[in-house]
Amino acid sequence: MITPIILVLASALVLIFLFRLAMGRALTAGQLDHPSEHLRKVDVEAFRNLTDPAEEEFLRNQLAPAEFRRIQRERLRAAAEYVSAVASNAAILLRVGEACRNSTPATSSSAQQLIETAFRLRLYAMQALIVLYLGILWPGHRVSVARIAERYEQMTRHVIMLGLQNPLQGVSAAL
């Protein structure tokens, strides 16, 4: 009887933690005034190279098993840094979208799209981090997180659309 209660409570705590993590830290008014200063640069092409299955297979065939595992761990750590930056940027842009949502009707629609995309990207990034860290523990395990790049570019397009309707002080250039 006690075990199910503990499992339910633990599950609830994990869900609350994940929801808070997905929403990101609250930004101060100063941070919302200049969000581009808080965004982290993400090189999407470098990320794609790090997570490319063909590149991984090439390295697997060219390197000794121990060397491949060492190199793969480094690549996955670098990919995790990119995913962490993506998650951080998504949290900031989620707040920017929320701040712009109550503007004009045209801006409101673009802001809502940005909010939805940023929220989904943040959740997906959290899942991807788990997959990447498991890959670091077991470098022979296949890791697939390439969709992060596509979703990040989609979020960037939403920022550009919103910026055209409501200037965002260099946010799209910072991405």
Q: How many Å apart are CA 140 and CA 157, to the nearest integer?
A: 35
Q: What is the pLDDT of residue 62?
A: 95
Residue 99 predicted with pLDDT over 90: no
Q: Measure the CA dihedral 44/128/85/12, to 10°.
A: 150
Contact indicator for 124, 69 with CB cutoff of 8 Å: no
* Whole-angstrom distance, CA of residue 33 vs CA of residue 78: 30
Neighbours of 142 (CB within 10 A): 10
d(CA 168, CA 156): 12
Q: Where are the domains of the chain?
A: 2-174
For 21-65, the pLDDT digits (tens) are: 555 554 544 555 566 677 888 888 999 898 888 999 999 999 999
Q: What is the pLDDT averaged over residues 160-172?
A: 59
DSSP secondary structure string for all residues of 95-151? HHHHHHTTS-HHHHHHHHHHHHHHHHHHHHHHHHHHHHHHHHHSTTS----THHHHH
The answer to whether the predicted template modeling score (pTM) of the entire model surpasses 0.85 is no
> Quick one: which of 79, 81, 93, 92 has its CA closest to 146?
79
Q: Sign of the C-alpha dihedral, residues 36, 107, 21, 126?
A: negative
Q: How far apart are CA 145 and CA 153, in angstroms?
A: 14
The 10s digit of each residue's pLDDT in 113-161 is: 888 888 988 988 988 898 888 888 887 777 778 788 888 888 888 788 7
Q: What is the pLDDT of residue 29?
A: 47
What per-residue confidence (pLDDT) applies to 95?
85
